[in-house]
Structure 1
Amino acid sequence: MGHPYHFGPSQSTLDPRALLSLSPDPAPDLRSPARYLLWLGGFQKATLAAGILLGTVWMASQAVMPFVLGRAIDDGVIGGDTGALVGWAGALLGLMVVQAVSDTATHRAGVSNWMQAAFRSVRLVGDKISRTGDALPTALSTGEVVSTAASDAFRLGEVYEVLTRLAGAAAAWLVVTVLIWQTSPVLGVVVLAGVPVCCGLLLFVVKPMQARQREQREASGKMTAVGADTVAGLRVLRGIGGEHIFVDRYRVKSAATRDSGIRVARSLADLEASQVFIAGSFSVVFTWVGASLVLSGDITPGELVALYGFSIFLMTPIRAAADSVARFIRAHVGARKIIAVLSVDANVSESGSPVPAPPACSVLVDERSGVVVEPGLLTAVVSREPAEATEAVTRLGRFEDAVLEQATVRWGAADLRHVPLADIRARVVVSEASPQLFSGPLRRQLDPSGRHDDDTLLAALEAASALDILDGLDGGLGHEVTERGRGFSGGQRQRLVLARAYLTGAETLVLVEPTSAVDAHTEQRIAARLGGTRRRDGMTTVIVTSSPLMLRTMDRVLFLEDGRVTAQGSHKDLMAGSTAYRNVVIRSE
């Protein structure tokens, strides 16, 4: 996460080629969880309709079976009609086949609907991560974002799977009501009104469960955030003996998550027990009324058997409703979390009044600091407070529009805020101070877009004085880099990131402290090769550094005090003419 195309610690871990293949859907409806779920459902109308139809056939075939069984008893067994018995038995066998086939097809359609919704949400979250920049990690913790993509999206997808069974159960309830009405209007009324009432009674259990599931989800996100922070800083924590502090914090968060999970489990147990009790009570009442009708001679024994079968089957719609409600609650909570991620606005967006990008070799000017970047030169920016220099040159990459509203940056004659982002990202690349690598082949780390051959990669590594790193790797450029590049030292990571920056071929390359983690001999080689590589190709390079080894090779040095340029010239001239500059450089040395 972080600035798009920003080669630093906040760069997205997604494969850039995968990002290029994304074709985002129209803007999602984020006004409420229900609207978001409806928006997702609109993309899979065909499979949803197929699942509902198949679920209806599946449940209806089950609903008709007690009726067929009752007729077989009345016509075939009690009536002594062998032909009728064979016919009804054949019908029963046919219903079993239809039920088996439709059950399988319903399950497949349901899982398809589930996966479509889940992965569309995951893709939206991934796209948001890659495009939002620093705004997302500022608004939400890493653990919260990870939990949203890894858990909430899949819980949300469950609702589309259960919808097929819920629709089928509702259709079967209507079929059973019609069949029972033909036998006894009284029982028909009992079924028509009783099943919805039983389902409504379950809402008294569902409401507290919704609050507890939301609480559990919040606790889980906090626990994941603490775990991610602990793992990220494990090496440092071990070095200072402070890992036990974070372990204790994680233990507390884990216990809170466990306790909230137990409370959710209690609610689920209450729901399960309630649906069994309510459905069982309804079945008892229904069977008692049916038995009374048999004793009074109003219905036949076969119809009683059918009614008993119906009473057992009618537990299915009630249980399906209870299961659906539980899943709808989880989906509602998950959708709310996804909306929280998708609602974060990026720090930078396309201007409503764009202007054409300036021609090549145009001057970059940061009016707040007075930094002027002349094309084709190696320019160093030095400051008593390194953060001031970093802030000034980072504005040249346009990563926060809010910052540029108070500090105008001009690129040629154009205001940088109104230049299309694609032009800026293609021509101005900012490489941050803290190097970052991700898991995958080293070749892909250096050349994410796959534009260069191995000879070009090796040339970039040589320019960054990083060829020696390959000597210790069995696979060479094919070496599998571990997560965050932990297999490399800080200096090695810094040199590999520098080579990656070279390979962008950016018209203007901004490097923030590119040699802070390397030794003096390596820094000297990098400084000598940097001048030859970039200057020879007529490209512009801006470096934030106070290292005299780097400064000696610069065409131009800008010195900042209190965020403003107060002196400029060659390193030699500034060392002779500016006491403040000399003090900063000597202190660095």
Structure 2
Amino acid sequence: MQKIPALDHDGLDHRSATRFLLAIVGKQKAATTWGVFTSAVWMTSQALLPVAIGRAIDQGIAGGKLGQVVFWSLGVLLLGIVRAATGIAFYRHSIITRTVSASLVTRMVTRHVTRLGASLRRRKDVDGLIATSTSDSVTIGVGLLYAGRIVGSASAIAAVTVAILWVSLPLGAMVLVLVPLFSGLSSLLLRPLHRNQDEYRSLQGQLAGRAIDIASGLRVLRGIGGERQFAARFRADSAQLRKADVQVSRAEADFEAARVLMPGLLTVIVTYTAALFALHHKLTIGQVVEFYGFSTFLTMPLADLMEGMSQVTRAKVAAGRVAALLNIPVDAGDSPESAATAPATRGEAHLVDSTSGLDVAPSTFMAVACADPSEADPLARRLARFEAPGEPTLTDEPWVSLPLPVMRSRVLLCLNSDRFFAGTLREELSRDDTVAVADIETALRTASATDIVDALPEGLDSPMTGRGRTFSGGQLQRLRLARALLVGAEFTILVEPTNAVDAYTEYRIAENLDRFHQAPAGGRSTVVFTLSPLLLQQAHQVAYVVDGHVVATGTHEDLLKSHAAYRTLVARDETAPVRP
């Protein structure tokens, strides 16, 4: 079995749909040349069959020469063998071209989306991303598959035209006029088809995005009574999409009708004219057979030519959508190839946000209490480079100048919105199979989540549904914390990681985190954005943030004594922490 190659997609020009398609073709120069050659030979060998048959009739049968009959019969056999061999080679090449092209586009989209990361949602409406990453890549592959057939069809039409001109100049001139005329009339139908397909794909992407949003937030919608309103919107959008689909179907029907009608008309006109010429003794019987064969054969390359134009049009629409996605710029430093000076080694770096004045020291357990709880999420995202504003640094190196993979490997942001996927619990907690069981158990103990695993029939090998629907909110928080600790990032940033657990479990988690950082933690720091006194009490240092700026730092007890506003902020009805 032939192995399909994986092409390098670096440096492909995607400034426009046309440039992008040409760049993909350019990446497959040898394959494209071979495909064009086999397609041209395949179609031309079919076009020459009527010539051999006509010569056998005129020079052999009509002339009574058996040798000519045998000679031209062998010619027909040879053309048949060439047609079969090149047809197999062309179809094999076409499948490879389609697969390689679709794979190339998919890998480019996947790589670029990965490089954009969380910034994609801020920069682009991602409703059509599903279509862009799946169906559009296939559409481009099919379009490039038909590109070879277009060349082959054009070659066959040219060969037939030359043969007709050689036999009869008037008939050849007529074919030269009719073929471009019929092709031009058919191409007029491509414009509305192109326009309607573009509109349909746009609406389809929007509706797909809305369906995903509704499905993911169905529980919330039912809770606030918004299910009917969103269902009505979905039905309205669906009706609009159906209307656009009808327009596409009409345009496609018109084009398909023309695809059948035009070659048929050409066959009728050429055959009828050849018959008239034969009646006036301007053509022989063999030549009439040739012209009938030519006119019948022309239906195939003309149909392929028109179908190819339709598929290339679809591919251009898809390429435009993909190019629009690929042209979204990546933030400075987001590229893995970005040059940057390596920051301080692990365990020596400070994570500093100069905008707020927050300074996270190495190997520490730090808590951040925001007077306005809504400020916690943006500040955490800025520290972890999920928000553009601000100038955080890793030691003295601005994070905007660091390659994104460096930041992701050293700074981890854990939010309550982070999701679990379907798989075993072990697969969801650890990144790969190299994570030791002892490390998993340590992370589970620190997150006070061992009871969750112990209650499962198969322990860590128990199946987990998508989004962890079989677990409660508090259980998911603890599993999420264990997963974050297993990453082993130099700085782990947590935002309200215990607001869904009971006070007793929360105290145990706080105590475990304190104990975790008392032991040699390999230069790891944990930053918790919280207002929980149980976590604040165990933190080695607390930063008090007001209006986006750190106004005080110290232990929880020190801040309670020195800042009345802080004391009011974190006070609970209970006067003492819950003890086990």
What is the TM-score when the length of structure 1 is the normalising length? 0.90
Q: Which runs of 5+ in 2 are unaligned?
A: 1-5, 575-580
Kept in 1, the 8 Å contact 2:102–2:140? The answer is yes
CA distance in 2, matches of 1:142, 1:84: 68
Of 438, 447, 451 in structure 2, the residue corresponding to residue 468 of structure 1 is 451
| Identity value in percent | 37
Paired with 2:454 and 2:8, the residues of 1 have a C-alpha distance of 42
Q: 1:378 aligns with which of 360, 365, 390?
A: 365
User: 1:439 matched to which residue of 2?
Assistant: 422
Distance 1:106 1:454, change over 3 A: same
Which string of whole-angstrom CA distances, capped at 9 and with x for unpartnered residues, describes residues 485-518 of structure 1?
3333222222222111111222222111111222
Secondary structure at the aligned position of 2:341 is classed as coil
Q: Which amino acid in 1 is paired with 2:548?
A: G
Match of 1:368, as an amino acid? Answer: T
Distance 1:588 1:72, change over 3 A: farther
> Alpha-carbon deviation of 1:350?
5.0
* AA of the residue aligned to 1:230: I
**In structure 2, do the counterparts of structure 1 residues 373 and 95 end up closer, same or farther at CA, with 3 Å as the change threshold?**
same
Q: d(CA) in 2 for partners of 1:27 and 1:138?
A: 25
Which amino acid is 1:274 matched to?
A
1:399 to 386, 408, 415: 386
Question: Per the alignment, do residues 442 and 142 of structure 1 end up closer, same or farther by CA in structure 2, a change over 3 Å counting?
Answer: farther
Deviation at 1:454, TM superposition (A): 2.1
Aligned match of 2:397: 414
More displaced stretch, 532-541 vs 547-556: 532-541
Secondary structure of residue in 2 paired with 1:403 = coil
Question: Does structure 1 conserve the Cα–Cα contact (< 8 Å) formed by 2:149 and 2:305?
Answer: no
| Partner in structure 1 of residue 277 of structure 2 | 293
Amino acid corresponding to residue 26 of structure 2 in structure 1: G
**Partner amino acid, structure 2, of 1:112:** I
Stretch moving more, 74-83 or 347-356: 347-356
Match of 1:549 in 2: 534
Residue aligning to 2:559? 574
Aligned counterpart in structure 2 of residue 564 of structure 1, from 546, 549, 560: 549
Q: CA deviation at 1:300?
A: 0.6
1:459 aligns with 2:445: no
More displaced 10-residue stretch of structure 1: 543-552 or 86-95: 86-95
DSSP 3-state at the match of 2:545: strand
For 1:356, which of 342, 347, 350 is the aligned residue?
A: 342
Describe the SS at the equivalent of 1:546: coil
Identify which of 310, 316, 324 aligns with 2:294. 310
Alpha-carbon deviation of 1:182? Answer: 2.2
**Secondary structure, counterpart of 1:53 in structure 2:** helix
Shift of 1:474: 4.2
1:107-256 equivalence runs, <5 A: 107-256=91-240
CA distance in 1, matches of 2:329, 2:474: 35
Cα separation, partners in 2 of 1:504 and 1:487, compared to 1, 3 Å: same
The range that moved more, 134-143 or 45-54, is 134-143
Name the CA distance, whole Å, in 2 between partners of 1:236 and 1:373.
36
CA 586–479 in structure 1, closer or farther in 2 if over 3 Å, else same:
same
Q: Does the 8 Å CA contact 1:134/1:347 hold for their aligned counterparts? A: no
Which structure has more relative contact order (CA 8 Å, sep 6+)? It is 1
Q: 2:319 aligns with which of 335, 338, 343?
A: 335
Query: Does the 8 Å contact 1:442/1:481 carry over to 2?
Result: yes
2:95 is aligned with 1:103:
no
Distance 2:416 2:565 in 1: 24
In structure 1, what is the Cα distance between the partners aligned to 2:511 and 2:528?
14
SS in 1 for 2:451: helix
In the alignment, the residues of structure 1 paired with residue 240 and residue 385 of structure 2 have an alpha-carbon distance, to the nearest angstrom, of 42
Structure 1 residue 584 corresponds to structure 2 residue 569: yes
- Matched residues in 1 for 2:558 and 2:78: separation? 97
Is 2:28 aligned against 1:28?
no
1:56-93 per-position Cα deviation (integer Å, ceiling 9, x unaligned): 12211211111122122223332333443344334323
Equivalent-residue separation in structure 1 for 2:472 and 2:188 (angstroms): 59
Residue pair 1:209, 1:268 contacting (<8 A) in 2 also: yes
- What RMSD in Å do the two structures reach over aligned CA positions? 2.3
Query: What is the CA distance between 1:380 and its match in structure 2?
Result: 0.6
Give the structure-2-normalised TM-score: 0.91
User: Could you say which residue in structure 1 is the equivalent of 2:578?
Assistant: none
The one-letter code sitting in structure 2 at the alignment partner of 1:582 is R
- Name the count of aligned residue pairs: 564
**Cα distance in 1 between the residues matched to 2:8 and 2:504:** 48
